[in-house]
Structure 1
Amino acid sequence: MQQIAIIQISEAGSEIASELQQTYSAKAIKRTDVGKLWQEYDAFVFIGAMGICVRTIAPFIKDKHEDPAVICIDSTGMNVISVLSGHVGGANDLTREISALIGAREVITTQSDNAGLWALDTFADRFNWSIASDDDMNECIFAFVNKKPTALLMKIRDEGTDYLEKSLPPHVTVVNSLEEVDPKKYSLVIIVSPYNLCAPYGVLELHFVPMIAALGFGLASHPDDYEDIYDQIDETLSSIGVLPCYKRYCTIDVKEDEEFCAMLVDEYNEELVFYTAEQLAKVEVPNPSDTVKKHVGTPSVCEAAAILGSNNGKLIVPKVKGKNWTAALAIDYKYLREQEGHIEIVGAGPGDPDLVSVRGRKMLERADLILYAGSLVPKALTECHKPGAVVRSSADMNLEEQCELMKEHYDKGHFIVRLHTGDPCIFGAIQEQMAFFDANNMRYHITPGISSFLAAAAELQSQFTIPERCQTIILTRGEGRTPMPEKEQLHLLARSQSTMCIFLSASIVDDVQRELLQEYPEDTPVAACYHLTWPDQKIYRGKLKDLAKIVQDNHLTLTTMLVVGEAIDNRQGLSELYSKHFTHLFRKGEA
């Protein structure tokens, strides 16, 4: 959390000062104390005249990489002005926050912000990148903000590169290699890569190194040169073209008491992960060693640890040896841009394209193939696809045909989105597909989605858990063609009289109603929710005794969620959050 100092110059700004102190846990200080506290705070907020602010800070300003953020608010609260360290110090962001808080006008004079350009000097902190360029950062920024032709070379994919691709300025061109960076055409190249690359002569270079790799290492017992090993590993990997890009170090747990491991954590503040010999021995590696197995019980330490530390990623640097150490480097497949096939199972949400997750939307925009459940997922969800992507409904395909199509694209190194309704884990029919992916060693991941039962609660404007009345939500279905386990029969589940959300059961509503009435009172509230959040959404409320009639009279289909329980439309009962026992959660004076 930022440490913020408030300097109230005039009495007129007392209300603003009080609001900021409360919101940011900021401390009020005297103007005469600014100098001695200059390095103690992340930000100084002056409330009063700009001239007084400037004259106060002028003697202490050194460098944008060292100076704290400085903001000035006029005493009437009309303007919030970013004065110093707009990007690196965070004054611009804090200016926006405070402006929104007090309803003022933000005043930001940074050229890149006002021109809608990237704030290059914030990327290292923002995206956990280091900088490997020899060229002066300010010279690169000057060229960029003056819209000199710029090349962008990205060798990995992460949050930062996703942002760059989505917000690409007109004067920036994405290139695939440095061979495309013609000095006659480009003034600057921005590189995002863990590899040691060098821009052509005459082109400014800004090289960001993403911290995305796992470094696995083995270690001799109590080496005398342990203090030098840290640099030795960096130098060895750099000599083969890989820059220090490690977000974690990994090794076997028997090395936990080594001085080198303590140094990594205590002096360098590195993330250190230990694995057991049993965990490491399960990993297939290119360079197993009988000697290592004899001493520690696993044929590999550094390579296996790197692979495990990278979420079973790709081994980029196989085992290399130093005097008293071995090292290997691996990168999670999700960061790689090379032609590696991948399947993302995405939860589409209940239907409204705006209710797919931000991550799900990004996956759809990136996909080479979108295979969506056409009978359940609106096609509108796929309209964000990139040019050239294949978009196919699976409604007329059997499981074998779906898997064959995905494998065909996977083998070409394509990025595939399998789009399922709601959240894939709830009646999502993904288990058989995952079994196919596992059998064929195909990499996949699941992006969760908003389930239709959550959409039902929102559209019904109901809290499905009512204190002291109902604290459980049951998600289930009636017994149709798919048999239900004996212990999960509806009438047994109904004994708790919880809020029950029943999927895929409109066609057997008579059976559903009959079973529920064995336990719920006949006047229990119900709702039949058809095509939740779709343009043709319909919701019918009533009592349990009339549930079958509601469904049949309105010709509702399988795409109907049945909700049962007294939580529907209930406004009785006090949530614990607002009870007298939870007043410590509120700010002073709000309880």
Structure 2
Amino acid sequence: MKTAILCFSAPGERTARKLALTTDETVVRVAPGSLSKTVSKLWGESDALVFLSSLGIAVRASAPHLRDKAEDPAVIVVTEDGGMILPVTGCHLGGGRDLAELLAKRLGTEVLLTTSSDRAGLAAPDLLASRRNWTLLGRDSLPSVNRRLLEQGCLLWWSDIPDSFPPLPDEYSRTDFRDAAAVIISPHRFSQAPGQVRLIPRCIAAGMGCRKGIPPETLRTVLFRALEEQDLLPESLAEIRTIPEKQDEPGLRALAAELGVPLCCVDRETLLSLGSDFTPSAASRHFGLPGAAEPCAASAGTLLGPRISQDGATAALALLSRHAGGKLSILGTGPGNGDYLTLQGRRVLEEADAVIGYRFYVELLPPEWLEGKTVESYVMGEEEKRVDRAIFLAEQGNKVVLLSGGDPVLFGLAGLALRKARGRVPAEPVPGITAAQAAGIMVGAPYVNGLVLLSLSDYLQPWKNVRRALEGAALSGLTAALYNPVKRGLGEKLAEVRTIFSSRGYSVACLVRDAGRPGASVLRIPLSELDAGRVDMRTLILLPGSSVEQEGNVLIDRRGYRTERADREGCRKT
């Protein structure tokens, strides 16, 4: 959510800074006499306004702008001392309640809930709609439905599709009779009866193909025609899928952005595995694929009919076989505890339903960050098992965080996870701080000119490849960081490290153990003394490059600035 946090004093600003942990959360210091103008500007730009003020100030400032609770930004009040949080408007459809609870966790305080269903611990239909990004219809009936939920403690619901969405809360009971239901869950076009509310789940995947340069307007027309022919509402669309050759097509990207759904690329291997029982298309002739629209849709679930073709664009639809809304984030946790987690990483972790990781990485995170989430820990060597488990949970509609120490793209799980998730669930790496960054600041500034990062492990690649990389690193003259000194043959491996790097003028090794963690240590030794008795898997080996000099107790890499050149010349003359 794009959130503006309004404060009016120095104490309020201090509290606001504790709340603003991501780039989507902006602190606004309101100047005296400018509140009305500030709120007018922010109202249409924000998903939520958080007032560090009294309730009265927030109400008077927001009241002139309130129009529709489904469109208005959520309004939340936080006392200046951070002792109380009160969601005011947009608590359900606007996401205000969940945002308030998130902010309360950051401050270690309580949320004062005033909505009756919230206080009773019951999930009202509009709260479900907000949490699952579903569209709600029949808002005129919402007060009576919510009253029934409060009085009876449960609601009957009916659906005309398989359970392609996560299970509903316990207070919802399924019925086979549509007329008896208070809540209808369906992607199809029909009118619900008076006294019923309608939830439209995002359960439809669209496969699309097109000629080069087709404008988004044409693609939109074809897609909506396909939806209409299947009696499906546009709000039920969960994603658009296409072939690799079209994933960068501007029209498809623009259409996905307009509709607020991801554009997913289905890899060739998946498409070819589906067989050839599809309508012949240009993709068959030009790219050797069984088609574009139909197989891409079929890769997501049950194909609902043949493709629609018009003006150089095609579309086909499928009912998702997985639960919509799931997502996989491969999170780099940094080398140590939560202090090294990026703001983006903190946000992703806050929003997660489930956290999967190597036990040591899980235990390094503050326990309160994991409260209320499904947490599963694994031992070393179970990398593929935890990746598979994380993808499975994401396919069930969960937001899943897969933990990877340091940075997930560097000797981490990002490659494996992205490859396995492709065509199944949306997945993205979330960058982290790697051990070399934490180790570098412990010894000074040893890689201002550059850094070579290598792994000494030969479990996943042959040692001859590792050795070739070591030779290239030594030839560069840059500082080298050697990760993963695995036990197998470690003595012989370090002997080769000594030989390769000493032949290129390297003379020092810095052994940094537990970088970024409590009890971190640095041992600086001659390179000739580097042996297996001094290192383990918690040790990073730093080999300072040719331009690194020792100044006092720190190592500093000379970049070549004017004063550095002058100092060096002075030293030479002396």
Q: What TM bracket, shorter-length normalisation? A: 0.5 to 0.7
After TM superposition, the structure 1 = structure 2 runs for residues 382-397 of structure 1, keeping only pairs within 5 Å, are: none
User: 2:231 aligns to what?
Assistant: 238
Q: Is the 8 A contact 1:216 1:327 kept in 2?
A: yes
After TM superposition, the structure 1 = structure 2 runs for residues 220-239 of structure 1, keeping only pairs within 5 Å, are: 232-238=225-231
Query: SS at the partner of 2:201?
Result: strand
Give the deviation of 1:493 after TM superposition. 1.9
Cα distance in 1 for residues equivalent to 2:196 and 2:339 = 41
- Check if 1:488 corresponds to 2:468: yes
Give the counterpart letter for 1:234 in structure 2. L
Q: Is the 8 A contact 2:335 2:516 kept in 1?
A: yes
Give the counterpart letter for 1:503 in structure 2. N
Query: SS at the partner of 2:306?
Result: strand
Note the alpha carbon deviations across 1:272-300, whole angstroms, 9 max, x for none: 9799xx9999796655445x559986899
- Check if 1:216 corresponds to 2:208: yes
- Check if 1:499 corresponds to 2:480: yes
Note the alpha carbon deviations across 1:516-541, whole angstroms, 9 max, x for none: 3333543x2421648x8999x99672
Give the deviation of 1:179 after TM superposition. 5.0
- State the aligned residue count: 500
Give the deviation of 1:210 after TM superposition. 1.4
Give the counterpart letter for 1:504 in structure 2. P
Give the deviation of 1:543 after TM superposition. 0.8
User: 1:24 aligns to what?
Assistant: 28
User: 2:452 aligns to what?
Assistant: 473
Q: Aligned in 2, Cα 1:529/1:444: closer, same or farther, shift over 3 Å? A: farther
User: 2:23 aligns to what?
Assistant: none
Match for residue 548 of structure 1 among 525, 530, 542: 530
Q: Aligned in 2, Cα 1:122/1:564: closer, same or farther, shift over 3 Å? A: same
Q: Is the 8 A contact 1:544 1:564 kept in 2?
A: no
Cα distance in 2 for residues equivalent to 1:178 and 1:454 = 52
- Check if 1:329 corresponds to 2:311: no
Give the counterpart letter for 1:563 in structure 2. I
Match for residue 131 of structure 1 among 116, 122, 136: 136
Q: Is the 8 A contact 1:251 1:273 kept in 2?
A: no
Q: Aligned in 2, Cα 1:126/1:351: closer, same or farther, shift over 3 Å? A: same
Q: Aligned in 2, Cα 1:101/1:503: closer, same or farther, shift over 3 Å? A: closer
Match for residue 527 of structure 1 among 506, 511, 514: 511
Match for residue 518 of structure 1 among 497, 503, 507: 503
Query: SS at the partner of 1:490?
Result: helix
Note the alpha carbon deviations across 1:172-214, whole angstroms, 9 max, x for none: 36x8x7559997xxx86685x7578999x99966534116622
Query: SS at the partner of 1:510?
Result: helix
After TM superposition, the structure 1 = structure 2 runs for residues 282-361 of structure 1, keeping only pairs within 5 Å, are: 287-289=277-279, 292-293=281-282, 304-305=292-293, 307-308=295-296, 312-314=299-301, 316-319=303-306, 327-330=315-318, 335=323
Q: Aligned in 2, Cα 1:65/1:28: closer, same or farther, shift over 3 Å? A: farther
After TM superposition, the structure 1 = structure 2 runs for residues 47-126 of structure 1, keeping only pairs within 5 Å, are: 50=55, 63-70=68-75, 81-89=86-94, 107-114=112-119, 118=123, 120-121=125-126, 123-124=128-129
Query: SS at the partner of 1:238?
Result: coil
Note the alpha carbon deviations across 1:32-67, whole angstroms, 9 max, x for none: 879998975757777876557656766775543355
Query: SS at the partner of 1:210?
Result: coil
Between the two structures, name the one with larger relative contact order (CA 8 Å, sep ≥ 6): 2
Cα distance in 1 for residues equivalent to 2:339 and 2:2 = 33
Unaligned runs of 5+ in 1: 338-342, 385-389, 576-591
Give the counterpart letter for 1:316 in structure 2. L
User: 1:565 aligns to what?
Assistant: 543
Cα distance in 2 for residues equivalent to 1:486 and 1:45 = 53
Cα distance in 2 for residues equivalent to 1:320 and 1:218 = 12
Cα distance in 2 for residues equivalent to 1:332 and 1:504 = 45
Cα distance in 2 for residues equivalent to 1:117 and 1:457 = 47
Give the deviation of 1:329 after TM superposition. 1.4
Query: SS at the partner of 1:473?
Result: strand
Q: Is the 8 A contact 1:424 1:430 kept in 2?
A: yes
Give the deviation of 1:245 after TM superposition. 1.9
Query: SS at the partner of 1:494?
Result: helix
Cα distance in 1 for residues equivalent to 2:57 and 2:234 = 50
Give me the TM-score of the superposition, normalised by structure 1: 0.54
Cα distance in 2 for residues equivalent to 1:94 and 1:391 = 28
Give the deviation of 1:86 after TM superposition. 3.4
Note the alpha carbon deviations across 1:59-111, whole angstroms, 9 max, x for none: 77554335554556779997665443334445557767888999998655334
Give the counterpart letter for 2:240 in structure 1. R
Give the counterpart letter for 1:543 in structure 2. I
Note the alpha carbon deviations across 1:203-262, whole angstroms, 9 max, x for none: 96653411662243789x99xx999866543332127x99842533869999x99xxx89
Cα distance in 2 for residues equivalent to 1:512 and 1:86 = 60
Query: SS at the partner of 2:498?
Result: helix
Q: Is the 8 A contact 1:217 1:326 kept in 2?
A: yes
Give the deviation of 1:498 after TM superposition. 1.1
Give the counterpart letter for 1:129 in structure 2. W
Cα distance in 1 for residues equivalent to 2:305 and 2:262 = 20
Cα distance in 2 for residues equivalent to 1:518 and 1:329 = 63
Give the deviation of 1:148 after TM superposition. 1.5
Q: Is the 8 A contact 1:319 1:326 kept in 2?
A: no
Q: Is the 8 A contact 1:344 1:447 kept in 2?
A: yes
Cα distance in 1 for residues equivalent to 2:526 and 2:278 = 66
Give the counterpart letter for 2:201 in structure 1. V
Query: SS at the partner of 1:493?
Result: helix
User: 1:579 aligns to what?
Assistant: none
Give the counterpart letter for 2:292 in structure 1. A
Q: Is the 8 A contact 2:155 2:182 kept in 1?
A: yes
| Greater Rg by CA | 1
Q: Aligned in 2, Cα 1:468/1:118: closer, same or farther, shift over 3 Å? A: same
Give the counterpart letter for 2:484 in structure 1. F
Query: SS at the partner of 1:23?
Result: strand
Cα distance in 1 for residues equivalent to 2:80 and 2:350 = 44
Q: Aligned in 2, Cα 1:100/1:190: closer, same or farther, shift over 3 Å? A: same
User: 1:248 aligns to what?
Assistant: 240
User: 2:373 aligns to what?
Assistant: none
Q: Aligned in 2, Cα 1:36/1:115: closer, same or farther, shift over 3 Å? A: same
Q: Is the 8 A contact 1:280 1:304 kept in 2?
A: no
Cα distance in 1 for residues equivalent to 2:525 and 2:354 = 44
Between the aligned residues of both structures, percent identity stands at: 17
Give the counterpart letter for 1:64 in structure 2. K
Q: Aligned in 2, Cα 1:455/1:3: closer, same or farther, shift over 3 Å? A: closer
Cα distance in 2 for residues equivalent to 1:455 and 1:66 = 45
Cα distance in 1 for residues equivalent to 2:107 and 2:379 = 49
Cα distance in 2 for residues equivalent to 1:94 and 1:233 = 36
Q: Is the 8 A contact 2:49 2:73 kept in 1?
A: yes
Give the deviation of 1:563 after TM superposition. 0.9
Q: Is the 8 A contact 1:6 1:27 kept in 2?
A: no
Cα distance in 2 for residues equivalent to 1:97 and 1:269 = 27
Cα distance in 2 for residues equivalent to 1:148 and 1:15 = 42
Give the deviation of 1:319 after TM superposition. 0.7
